[in-house]
Structure 1
Amino acid sequence: MSTDEIRKEVSGAKARYLISRGEAVAELTLSIATPQLEIADHTSVPDAWRGEGGGAVLVARLVSDARMQGFKILPLCPFVNAQRRKHPEWADVFQV
């Protein structure tokens, strides 16, 4: 999986990153607290995709967007928080 497959949808104070394959969807949901802070709420990957790196790709795209757009990420989602700990080079975009 690559970040090219990901799309971001924003609706008011909610957003999500999605990867779709047919009917199956992996997503990372966000709450937009302020223009400078997005809260990573939940990551969901279909069982059939487990171990393929779909969740990690979603988080990497979130980190990339945070750097490009200048916002911080509050990692309430356990998966996003685990990825943050695995990638100390991402410390600049996380608010913990």
Structure 2
Amino acid sequence: MSFLVEENPAKRRFEILVDDALAGFTAYQPRGGLLVFTHTEVDQRYRGMGVGAALVRGTLDQLRERGDRLVPKCPFVAAFIERHPEYADLVVAEP
């Protein structure tokens, strides 16, 4: 199984493809140079397979590369960052 995480700016979300099929996304709202993550969804067929974690990890890695910061309003993104404190430096308090 191969994962690919890529941004879809037109839909304001990062998407994960599993073997070239859309398996989930994490949605954001741009706000003053930050991305406020509001919702994450994984297709039922891919739940319990680590797809959600791969999606958030791939998203956060891309944000780090770009020098972006985020506000994790989405409970799934917030919980992932709590479990992986190496990403805590990307988080800012909501303005």
Give the corresponding residue for 1:34: 32
Structure 1 counterpart of 2:75 = 78
- Structure 1: gaps spanning 5 or more residues: none
Q: Deviations over 1:1-44 (max 9, x none)?
A: 655x1221102xx6211124576531111111133x10111000
Change (3 A) 1:2 1:57: farther
| TM-score calculated relative to the size of structure 2 | 0.82
Report if aligned partners of 1:8, 1:18 keep a CA contact under 8 Å in 2: yes
Which residue of structure 2 aligns with residue 57 of structure 1?
A: 54
Q: Does 1:67 align with 2:64?
A: yes
Runs (4+) off by over 4 Å:
21-24
Q: For residues 33-59 of structure 1, what are the alpha-carbon distances to aligned partners after superposition, in whole Å with 9 as ceiling and x for unaligned?
A: 133x10111000111211111111111
| Total equivalences in the alignment | 92
Q: Name the % identity.
A: 32
Q: CA RMSD in A?
A: 2.0
Q: Give me the TM-score of the superposition, normalised by structure 1.
A: 0.82
